[in-house]
Structure 1
């Protein structure tokens, strides 16, 4: 059985919804707000860390926490007001990985749209036409974000758990095969 730590930061509730979906799907999971999460994660097989985006990277609380995460198999999940396939969304995963502590392995990622903080949305509505995040050109993006996370996003987040657990099984099989090959090679060398 795979033991999960699901750690999240959420202001509007978007990332919390995804965290709860992941924790519900995992057979054995502990869920924490980032400010309450343990620093010692050695009891967990998978550490899922979720956040909202600020300035194209995880929010400040999560950034601070990431530096202390060491020697863990990590899954990132994020919510944001833009398309999950946008450059903004994709590069933010790289920025999250950059802030991880030593010895971590990133197993996978998940991102979905999420409602924009109402205070931020009002600020964006007042932005001029040169602001890439505001103005009338962004209204469709805001409209789409307001409908997420939806049932499809929740199902996709739960599917992530299955995919990551399957990946762990495949990695363990591969490691066992490699160890067997190495043992056979060492045995052969002893006989020569």
Structure 2
């Protein structure tokens, strides 16, 4: 199985997830940041990892997801919100919609520590987003438990 892992990461959180995905994949595999990612078509499985910006996959990942056609796709993400929050669910649904030409075979999301500078800016807004209430619990994530859960999810789709 020819597999491609693509990720976008600002703080290293999503990169950690991408490396965990890569580690459990069989032999014929590649991993690339989204800026250097090859054409996604021609692979048996593509795994795309992203972070949320305003409740959606980051802009570079969003554009990449639109390019995936007729390929099995695994989506994974990090964010400051709780993993089971509406924020996380809606963001993943948006990602699925962007990749409408792909066959979604699985998803995974978990909290990722938010950059403290960004966190302070967001908290200072007159109407901070709902996820800000979960951001303090994101410190230290993704952790080993998150990475193990992700690896198990990937093994299920192989």
Q: Taking structure 1 as the reference length, what is the TM-score of the superposition?
A: 0.77
Q: Name the structure 2 match of 1:59.
A: 58
CA RMSD between the two structures: 1.6
Tell me what 1:162 maps to. 155
Give 1:125 shift: 2.9
Aligned residues: 157
Name the CA distance, whole Å, in 2 between partners of 1:148 and 1:40.
28
Q: Whose RCO is larger (CA < 8 A, sep 6+)?
A: 2
- Does the alignment pair 1:38 with 2:35? no
Q: Secondary structure at the match of 2:148?
A: helix
Alignment of 1:85-100 (within 5 A): 85-100=84-99
Contact 1:124–1:134 at 8 Å: present in 2 too?
A: no
Q: Tell me if structure 2 keeps the 8 A contact 1:124–1:133.
A: no
Offset of residue 132 of structure 1: 3.3
Gaps of 5+ in 1: 166-192
| 1:101, distance to aligned residue in structure 2 (A) | 5.3
Structure with the greater alpha carbon radius of gyration: 1
- Runs of 4+, deviation exceeding 4 Å: none
Q: Where does the alignment leave 5 or more consecutive residues of structure 2 unmatched?
A: none
Higher helix share: 1
* Alpha-carbon separation, structure 2, partners of 1:53 and 1:89: 8
